[in-house]
Every structure is written in structure tokens, then in C-alpha cells.
A and B are shown apart, each in its own frame.
Chain A
Amino acid sequence: MDFTYTLAIIGLPFVTFLLLGLLHNKLSHKLAGIIGSSSLFISFTLSCITAYFYFFKYGKVDGAYQKIEAFNITWLQLTDQLHIDMGILLDPISVMMLMVVTTVSLMVHIYSTGYMHGDNGFNRFFSFLSLFSFSMLGLVVATNLFQMYIFWELVGVSSFLLIGYYYEKPSAVAASKKAFITTRFADLGFLVGILLLSYYTGTFDFAEITKTNGNELAMTMPTGTSFLGLSIVSWALILVFMGGAGKSAMFPLHIWLPDAMEGPTPVSALIHAATMVVAGVYLVARLFPVYALEAPDALNVVMWVGAFSALFAAIIACTQFDIKRVLAFSTMSQIGYMMLALGVSQYGDHDGLGFMASMFHLTTHAMFKALLFLAAGSIIHAVHSNSMLDMGGLRKYMPITFITFGIAWLAICGFPGFSGFFSKDEILAAAFHHNKTVFYIAVFVAGLTAFYMSRLFFSIFFGKTQHYHHTPHESPASMTIPLIILALFAAFAGYIPFHDLITSDGRPFEAHINWAIAIPVTLLAFGGITLAYAFYFKPSTMPDKIAASLKGVYTTIYRKFYIDEIYLFVTQKILFNVVSQSIAWFDRHIIDATMDGFATVTNYASESVKELQSGQIQKYGFVFISGVFVFAFILIYVFVY
């Protein structure tokens, strides 16, 4: 089977980007929307075809899914062995990501035609969306670390452009800069990791690095050299994970994600919920055999960072009032879950349950979180406010948004039968077998998730009905249809048999619902929902009373544990004042002064001799003739006599 046509999946959004970007003043908004959406629709269809052929026809050889290089060209030949390629790699996780990215991107494109209607920058918005889709698709099919790094930066740029879409707003500009600088800082680690890994293995190629013989890595990794007690592979992979943590908003590099909500809501749904932020998870999954077989220490780091971020973000999410920020922290928490799942996984067969669960949760989360964001966008569109304090009783006005949001809410809470239930259960089962502490953290986070999501849901749709300036109304069909489609995915994605399709070693294994874990966790989730019901379903003073009685703790959580302030302190007070200022002083007083000195001396010298050029030819003549006399004397008295 020739998979070369997959080039079109990536190429089409790029062509669309160029088209919309170059003709952006000439095209009408309607046409731009149609071009953007239809090119994504073609990409989506091709991805479906690819997935069908890969999973059900040609991908499996001897009972295991193979890595297929659909397309490959050598881009830079550095040495005989080391070369940078550009290509398309198809394996279970990249095909899965193709599906996820094109699905969500298509939904967001359609939704945006309604949401951004009448906006001046409509065409700019769509060209950036296409740029993002291109970069993200290029990232997931990357055949080697370096190609991934290039597209990794490209998604960072498109994220920057889209967060700063409302560039007249200073807060949006600040948020886009913050996101870009934070992720760039993390990517420094990624780059060093890539260089370390490729230096010791001599290749960038994923297929070569992660090739396995049974439960052994085919390539011998340098384990001998160590630094601070960890092998060089562990260090390389921890540094690579640093890049992943930056993109995936893991503690302590998460600070950009809540601010990134300054971008338009469809962007938050596409980039900051479903696709770009899971790139870190995808990166770890890509290199998973190396993590699992050669660097268990690095995998432990992944696990703890994931578990801590999940808990940390879930706690903050309980106190926020901006609905998009609640969802942002929820995203961070759920991505922490995926990282945790990878961290507790091992390689091969049933031990690789965590890997499967992580990819499973990535897919279901992409669906229900994109849905939550798009529904939130629909609400914001109707109410013209981000704060849940301005909302309440909206179920009467916006029935479709209410129902679809409700489905996503049930999915994220882990209500039995909905997608989140299945994926979360697999993660918890994997954690239970590996590390009890992490398991209890994960269970607690599941309860918290149910609580804060129910808080959000009840505050928006029930609670006190507000007096709205103009009565909120349901959004147009271009916005509600994507909501309905995503709601179907969010409800039923849990029935996809992931353990047959996506496993750590490519071979299917048996997995069932672990009722012993599922029942208590579901009960805990119900507990969370009930608590939120008691507090927020009807207007109640209880939450305020509790907040008042725990004033210090509440404020700390509400201010996000002062992490932003700590960053500001470190950068402004320490870096700017101490380091940068002294460097600036050196630059101004030593380097610049030296250069100024040269100029001053030259200037002074020429000032003092410029009188010689008087414009009087007779003076020049006098000098000339005096010279002739002098030379004549020298000639006569020195050389002749």
C-alpha cells in the first residue's frame, strides 16, 4: 500500500495558509471561511482513509502494527551517517493524532465561521488557523527528532500569533509574549536533549532510536557515562521532557496557559485544549520505548511532574471565576493525568497499559475539552462576559449549548458510559499496579475534577438567573453543529477498542474495565458532583462562608499559589536588576565607551588638521615647493656628497 498521498493531509493546510495569507485583502470573509474549512475537510477525509487502511488493512504485520515511512527525503546531509530528513511516519499514535487533530481542527474551522463572523481580521484568523493545522500535522507525522523540533517551533509561532490575535489589547499582547517566551525557554532543554541523544546514538530517526528486539532496545544506549547519578540517556530524556513540559503546561512551566485564554475561544479549543498542548505527551509517547527500557529515572520524573501538575491545577480550578481559566486549569490537570499514565507505564503487552490509557485519554480529552471550550465560546458569545458570576440560568436560553456542554461535563467527570469514564479508569488501573501514592493522588484529582466541573456547569446553567442586558439567545447553526458532532464523539469515543489499536509495542492485548477501581472512583466523582450541587445549584452562601473561614488558604489558591509572582520576582528583581543591569552597565560604559572613544579621537584629530585644507591653492603650492626644496637638499647633500 502506498501511503504517499498522506502528503496532501499536511500540504493542503499549508497551501491554504499561503492562499489566505497572500490574498487576505482580496477575499471576502465568506469565501475565506469556505476555503479554510473545505481544505481541512479534505485533510480530515484523507486522515480517515489513512486510519482505515492503516489500522484495518495494511498496518499489521505478524500481529503487530509496524512503523511505515510513507514519504522521506534527506534534507541536510551532515555527515555520512547523520542526516536530517523530512518525511511522514505512520504508526498507531501518529495515525491517531492525525485523526484527532484533523477532527478538532475541522470542527473549530466550521465553528469559527460563526464565532468570528463580522470580525475585521477574519481572513487573518483563518490563515493562522491553517498555519497551525499544517504545523501540528507536520509535528505528529515527523520521522525524526529534528523535523519534530522544527514543527514544534512552528506550532509555537502559530500559537503566539493566535493568542495575540486581538493585538490592540495589551493583555493579549502580553499573554502571547509570555506563552512564546515560556515555551521557548522550555525548548532550550528540548534542543539540548536532542543534541545529547543524537550525539550518542548517531541518528535523529525515531524508527531507529525506538526499534526494539523483544523487550530490549535494538540500539545500545550509552549508560556508562553518568552525571549526578543519572545516566546520559536519562539526562537527555529529562531534557527532552522539559520541552514537552513547556508545551504541555506542566508545573512549573505552566504559567503561560491560563493567560493564553486571551486568544479567541476557538483558538483555545484547538490549540490550548485539544492539540498543541498534548504535543508534550505525544513527544514522550513517541520516545516511549527509550524512556521505558533505558531510562526509568526519566520516566519517574514524567510521572511525578504529571501527578503534581494534575493535583496542583485541579486545586486552582476550584477557585477561579473566569470560565475559560477554569477550563485552562482543567486542561493542565488532565494533561498531567496523561503524563502520569505514561510515567506509570512499562513496555510491552499488559504492562504497557498506562501507555495505551494515556493515548486513550488524549483522544477522549481532545474531544470533550474542545467541546467544553467551544460551548464556553458559545456562552461568551451570548453573554459577552467571561466571568461565571455574570451567568446563571442559561439552560432556558441556550438549550443546545446546555445539552452539549452537559455531555462534555459528564464525560470529564467520568460518568459511566461516557468517554472519560473509560480512559480515566484505564489510567487509574495502570497507576494502581505501579505506584500507590500516585494512584491516590489520581483518585483525589478525579474527585476534584468532578467538583470543579460541576461548579462550573451549575453556575452557568442553573443557579440564580441574571438580569441580562439583552436576552441571551442560542448561537447560529455554524456554531451549534460542531458542538453536536463533538458531543457525539465525547459521548462515544470511549467505545473505541484502544487496547487493540494503540499499544506500547504494537501488539493488541486484553483489557477490561476494572470494576474494583471504577466503582469507588465513580462514587467519589458523584460525591464531588453532589457537593457542587449543594453549593451551586441553587443560590447559596455556603461557598462564600467557607472561603471566608479559610481566608489565607483560599487567597493563596485563588492567586494560583503565587507562582506568577515568584516568576516575576525572579525575573524582574533578580534577573533584570542584578544580572541584566550589570551587563547593561558593562555594555554601556565599557563596550560602547570604547567605540565612542575611537570616534572621539578621530574626530578631534581631524578637527585639528582640517585647517590645512584651506581652499587656497597657493598654500598648497607653498607646501609642495618647500617639499621639493627639502628633497633637493637631501638628494644633493646626502646622496651626491
Chain B
Amino acid sequence: MIEGIDITHILIVSTCMFFIGVYGFLVRRNLITILMATELILNAVSINFVVLNKFLYPNVLQGYMFSVFIIAIAAAEAAVAIAIIINVYRRYRTINVENVHEMKY
């Protein structure tokens, strides 16, 4: 329990983060920015795990464990994604997704 802060406030924050991430993922054209948007989405989920664990099931630790997992996976994912982005840049000399469209009909 955190004094003076309701669970809904925190959930609203995390929901905002999530949709900002989705919005960024859909509209951004720069691959790095898209990667950042996915990080936002992951972190929003992470917050949800922690908060729901703390407020609803204070006696168990699964929620915390999951958020630690998510942080680790996010780190690995960022490494792979940046490797891909560097390769894309080497090949196309750009990281604008609209110019990388070989995988189409």
C-alpha cells in the first residue's frame, strides 16, 4: 500500500504509457523510435504486474518476478533489434521503414 495513491491512478498512468507506445509504434517512421515505442509498451505492462501484485496479492511474488523477466527480455530484444537496425542501415543507408519494403507481394 502506498499512502494517498489509489490503484486506479497508477493503472491510468500505465494505460497511458501503453497507448502512447502503440501510437508511436504505428505512426513513427524511424526504426529507433519504433524500438523505443515497444519499450514503452513493455514497461507499461511491467508496471501493471508490479502494481496489481502489490495491491491485490501482497503475500506472493509472481508479479515482481514477471516484471524482472520482462526487463531482461526487453534488454535482449533491444540488443537484437539494434543489431538488425544496424544491418538495415548498412544495406539501405537509411532507417526509414517506408524505404525498406522488399517483403511485399
Which B residues touch A614, using CB under 8 A? Answer: 101, 104
* In contact, B101 and A615 (Cβ under 8 angstroms): yes
Asked if A74 lies at the interface with its beta carbon under 8 angstroms from chain B, I say no
User: B98: nearest residue on chain A (CB-CB)?
Assistant: A616
Do A625 and B102 touch across chains, with their CB atoms under 8 A apart? no
0/1 string, A596-617, CB within 8 A of B gives 1: 0000000000000011011111
Q: Mark A605-634, 1 if CB is under 8 A from B, else 0.
A: 000001101111110011001000000000
| Chain B stretch 90-105: residues in CB contact (< 8 A) with chain A | 97-98, 101-105
B26's partner among A611, A615, A618 (CB-CB below 8 A) is A618
Q: Are A621 and B25 in contact (CB under 8 A)?
A: yes
Inter-chain contact B101/A622, CB cutoff 8 Å: no
- Chain B residues near A617 (CB-CB < 8 A): 97
Given contacts A625-B22, A625-B26, contact A618 B105 (CB under 8 A): no
Which residues of A are found within 8 Å of B97, using beta-carbon distances?
Answer: 616-618
Say which size band chain B's interface belongs to: 10 to 19
Chain B contacts with A in 52-105, Cβ cutoff 8 A: 97-98, 101-105
| Residue in A closest to B25 when the chains form the complex, CB atoms | A621
For B27, the chain A residues whose CB sits under 8 A away are 618
In the bound complex, what is the Cα–Cα distance between A518 and B84 (angstroms)? 109
Indicate which residue in B26, B102, B103, B105 contacts A621 across the interface (CB closer than 8 Å).
B26
CA separation between A614 and B100, bound complex, in Å? 11
B15 to chain A, nearest CB (A): 13
> Which B residues are CB-close (under 8 A) to A621?
25-26
CA distance A610 to B104 in the complex (A): 9
The residues of A that contact B105 with a CB separation of less than 8 Å are 610-611, 613, 615
Interface SS majority for chain A: helix
Q: Which residues of A contact B25 (CB under 8 A)?
A: 618, 621
Residues of A within 8 A of B104 (CB): 613-616
Bound complex: CA A271 to CA B98 (Å): 79
**CA A613 to CA B105, docked complex, whole Å:** 6
- For the complex, give the distance between the alpha carbons of A615 and B102 in Å: 7
Nearest chain B CB to A167 CB, angstrom units: 51
Chain A residues with CB under 8 A of B103: 615
Are A616 and B26 in contact (CB-based, < 8 A)? no
Complex CA distance for A613 and B101, rounded to whole angstroms: 10
Q: In the complex, what residues of B have CB within 8 A of residue A618's CB?
A: 25-27, 34, 97
Q: What are the residues of chain B within 8 A of A616 when measuring CB–CB?
A: 97-98, 101, 104
Would you list which residues of chain A between 155 and 199 have a CB under 8 Å from chain B?
Answer: none
B34 contacts across to A, CB distance below 8 A: 618
Query: Which residues of chain B have C-beta atoms less than 8 A from A622's C-beta?
Result: 26
Q: Which residues of B contact A611 (CB under 8 A)?
A: 105
Bound complex: CA A523 to CA B26 (Å): 114
Q: Which of A610, A615, A621, A625 has its CB near the most chain B CB atoms (within 10 A)?
A: A615
B residues within 8 A CB of A615? 101-105
Nearest residue in A to B101 (C-beta to C-beta)? A615
A455 to B75, CA, bound (A): 110
Q: State how many angstroms separate the Cβ of B26 from the closest Cβ of chain A.
A: 5
Q: A616-B98, A618-B97, A621-B26 are in contact. List 17 more A-B contacts (CB 8 A).
A: A610-B105, A613-B104, A613-B105, A614-B101, A614-B104, A615-B101, A615-B102, A615-B103, A616-B97, A616-B101, A616-B104, A618-B25, A618-B27, A618-B34, A621-B25, A625-B22, A625-B26
CB within 8 Å of B: which residues of A? Answer: 610-611, 613-618, 621-622, 625
Q: List 6 A-B contacts (CB under 8 A).
A: A611-B105, A614-B101, A615-B101, A616-B97, A616-B101, A622-B26
User: 6 closest pairs, A vs B, by CB?
Assistant: A615-B104, A615-B101, A610-B105, A615-B103, A613-B105, A614-B104
